Amino acid sequence: MHVHIEQDHHGCLSLDQELMDASAAYFKSSDNRTPTVDDIAERYRAAGMAAVVFTVDAATSTGHPAISSEEIAERAAEHADVLIPFGSVDPLRGDAAIAQARRLVTEYGVRGFKFHPSLQGFAPNEPQFNPLWAALEELGVPALFHTGQNGIGAGLPGGRGIKLRYSNPLLLDDIAADFPGLTVILAHPSVPWQAEAISMATHKANVFIDMSGWSPKYFPAELAQAAGGMLRRKVLFGSDYPLIAPERWLADFATLGLKEDVLPGIFKNNAAGLLGLLT
């Protein structure tokens, strides 16, 4: 459920080099840090996996041009057996972001949207962004939000100005409540707000958690317990590749000792149902 496109086929990067280097150092990434859509398709096809792929459009807040979500969708369509495209729009662009979101769904076939409130520099529960959430609800596609600790900017002075409070999952509780037809996915263990995320996913039928961005051996105990119990139908496999390799994530996840009967849902069926892919 969570794979980043960090480089387009023109060689353009999704972030400036300082931020790329900081995130690679934070995650101790040893794999190819900037795979293209075609690279990811080849890797996931060989592994017998599918991947939701996207970039993050944070052009306003970072001043760095975004990789084209339109191009990602077009290239993902060439690998439709293994790649599921999500789009990204910059909420700070207002009506233009909404118009782009509509085009990405109706003309390019994206199946959802990725947002990173801290990187994009916005508080998602502010009323000015409600028209965007209403549009996504109308379009019938999920919104995937980064939550919790942030590896981008980690270790840099001031974290390069990136504010963690925008990624508190409780800000998304307002959206989930006000737009009950919108599926809201909380990306990552939401440290230091894990309890809040679990409470939201328990309380609201339209809130899910993807477990990307952390090796499972470092999961908060409450998340591992919930994934094997009350949230077994609300949690989704995601590695955060290329920052964490899916093979590493799966190997570490096996050490949690969850019951075998919950694994098909976590690895595939929960996400496939959410995306309307179950037959």
* pLDDT over 80 at 207, yes or no: yes
Q: Residue 71: pLDDT above 90?
A: yes
Residue type, 98: I
The neighbour count for residue 126, using CB atoms within 10 Å, is 11
Please report, for the domain that includes residue 100, its CATH number: 3.20.20.140
Give the model confidence (pLDDT) of 220-277 as tens digits.
999 999 999 999 999 999 999 999 999 999 999 999 999 999 999 999 999 999 999 9
First to last CA, the chain: 19
User: Shortest CA distance to 57 belongs to which of 23, 24, 18, 101?
Assistant: 101
Q: With the C-alpha atoms ordered 50, 200, 140, 273, is the resulting torsion angle positive or negative?
A: positive
Instruction: Calculate the average pLDDT of the chain.
Output: 94
What are the residues facing 4 on neighbouring strands? 54
For residue 7, the model assigns a pLDDT of: 83
Residue 278 is predicted with a pLDDT of 79
Which residues, 6 or more positions from 215, have their beta carbon under 8 angstroms from its beta carbon? 244, 248, 249, 252
Residue type, 92: L
Mean predicted confidence (pLDDT) in 14-26: 77
Here the tokens at position 162 are: 């990136």
Least confident range from 26-30, 85-89, 171-175: namely: 26-30
* Domain enclosing residue 252, as ranges: 3-274
Percent of the chain with pLDDT over 70: 99
10 has a pLDDT exceeding 80? no
Domain membership flag for residue 69 = yes
Q: In what order do the strands lie in the sheet with 3-4?
A: 3-4, 51-54, 83-85
At 227, phi and psi to the nearest 5? Answer: -60, -35
Tokens of 170: 């409780």
13-33: average pLDDT: 74
Is residue 279 in a domain?
A: no
Domain count, the chain: 1
- Where on the phi/psi map is residue 67: left (φ > 0), alpha (ψ -120 to 50), or beta? beta
pLDDT of 174 > 80? The answer is yes
pLDDT score for 223: 97
**How much is the average pLDDT of 123-145?**
98
pLDDT confidence bin for 31, thresholds 50/70/90: low
Residue 30 pLDDT greater than 60, yes or no = no
The mean pLDDT of 39-66, rounded to a whole number, is 96
In the predicted model, what is the mean pLDDT of residues 21-40? 78
Report how far residue 167's alpha carbon sits from residue 146's, in angstroms, rounded to the nearest whole number: 6
pLDDT at 28: 72
